[in-house]
Amino acid sequence: MASGKGIVSAVTLRNNIVEWTSVRAKKGDAEIHDSQRVALDLSEEAGPGSPEMSAAVKATCRRIPNVHLSLPSSQVLMRVVSLPSSDPAEIEGMVELQVDKFSPFPIDRMSVSFEILSREENSSRVLIAATQRENVESLGAVFQGAEILPRAIDLEVMGWWELMRAKGCIEESGLQVILLLDESSTELVIAQDGLPVLFRSLLARGEEPDETFVTEVAEETAYTLTTLESEVGGDVLHITCWSWDAVPENMLESLEVECGVKGVARSLDELPPLTEGLARRALRRQPAVMDLAPQDWHATEKSRAAKKKLLAATFVFLVLWLGAVGGLWVYLNLQATSYEKLHATSQSLGEPAQEVRRLRSKVQALEQFSDRSRSALECLLEVTVLLPEGVEISSFNYKKGRAVSLRGQAKSANPIYDFFEALEKSELFTKTDAGGITTKNDRGERLSEFKVTCQLPEEEE
């Protein structure tokens, strides 16, 4: 898999099946980088969070960059509320008060987040989500045991919402009811004028016989619409039942009887994978976008990033220091060899050697005060000043009094040509010989490589 730079990935783990989609930004949209679905090879004794499961996840997901996870609605309490503020900082304080109203658990045992669905001048429609911390820690433990630190935790239902919105399945006006008959839960989503006003998790299919399931879902949908009537008003345009397989028998008829609106069945196969919707959301992540991950996960991620930068800086420093020491050692050895030859010659020449020593002393004095305007450091400074943004130098070879050879790379050829032009105009170099530009794939990412030789003015004898 290619380098994870600029790529975000959404991963789901359901029924021992890992599914993921990786995307990168491209021209204001999301480009699919990778999308796969893999069944984990686990024994019957391997339960959620077991070492065997973590090992299987590590083997499958170790190369997936920037992992984002999600929780099913059955594990999350969700409310859509209107708050009298459009400032995310103020909304955050209001959210905790709202959670106290609808959560049966103490706030210190919950992971809470929110997402601004719409915003006006002095008010906002906000989706609040709260889940018991143990749900987050249980999910995180599987991936942390696999040495993968998730970046964030979203909601699966919001991934489906993203896919439906992108496919044009959300009406821009009117009241719309969506029933998601997913593998592990049944989600009820009610939207008005293209924005959600309610999320609710209902009885999962398979927990009861189909007849009981159909009856309860229809009754709960009708009850929910009745309770919302005073808030949203208006007639329901239609009820859409999304399911992987056939909608249970009599489901559409029961919905029509209970809600007075004819239901329509659609297959979830019409939509891209759930992880694509979650990955697209992760790509445009903002401070006010849903994230149920604990703060200590973010602190750990920042610490890791700081350590990586420190190690990289230390490595560069050591390379430069060793290069300087090695260069000095070579220079001193060359000087010592030259001195020994001169000394041997002086011994054989006798009196003329005295004159040579005096000349040598003068030469050394001149070298100490000679012009350093074309030294390696001056050349390195000139190259650094002329280097455009996005171009990286991987090799700097200085030949005293002759030339400077450079190698490097960039994501595209345009900044490299700008660099060649800047070198041509430099007063330090007399001539620039470009070695051409080649393209290579580095773990899925296309890079342009180049080499160029900058001639220095010839020194007078």
d(CA 197, CA 193): 10
Residue for token digits 């499961």? 53
State the chain's mean pLDDT as an integer: 85
Q: What is the pLDDT of residues 129-173, one digit of tens each?
A: 999 999 998 888 888 888 888 889 999 999 999 999 999 999 988
List the single range of 1-10, 334-343, 422-431 with lowest mean pLDDT. 1-10
Q: 266's torsion region: left (phi>0), alpha (psi -120 to 50) or beta?
A: beta
Q: Which helix (H) or strand (E) holds 432?
A: strand 431-442
Contact 313, 43 (CB under 8 A): no
d(CA 193, CA 211): 33
Name 13's bridge partners. Answer: 18
Domain 7-293 grouped into CATH 3.90.1150.10: no
Q: Given strand 124-132, what is the order of strands in its sheet?
A: 77-83, 124-132, 110-119
Half-sphere exposure of residue 231: CA atoms within 13 angstroms, side-chain side: 14
Give buried/exposed letters for 360-398 (b at 16+ CB in 10 A, else e). eeeeeeeeeeeeeebebeebeebbeebbeeebeeeebeb
Confidence at residue 252, expressed as pLDDT on a 0 to 100 scale: 92
Phi, psi of 236 (to 5 degrees): -75, 130
Q: Which CATH class is domain 371-461?
A: alpha beta
Q: Is the pLDDT of residue 2 over 50?
A: no
Instruction: In the chain, count H helices and then E strands.
Output: 11, 17
The answer to whether the predicted template modeling score (pTM) of the entire model surpasses 0.95 is: no
Virtual CA dihedral for 250, 255, 258, 261, nearest 10 degrees? -130
One-letter amino acid for residue 40 of the chain: L
Q: Is the pLDDT of residue 448 over 50?
A: yes
Q: What is the pLDDT of residues 13-57, one digit of tens each?
A: 988 899 999 999 888 788 999 999 999 888 877 777 788 888 999
Confidence at residue 298, expressed as pLDDT on a 0 to 100 scale: 59
d(CA 130, CA 75): 9
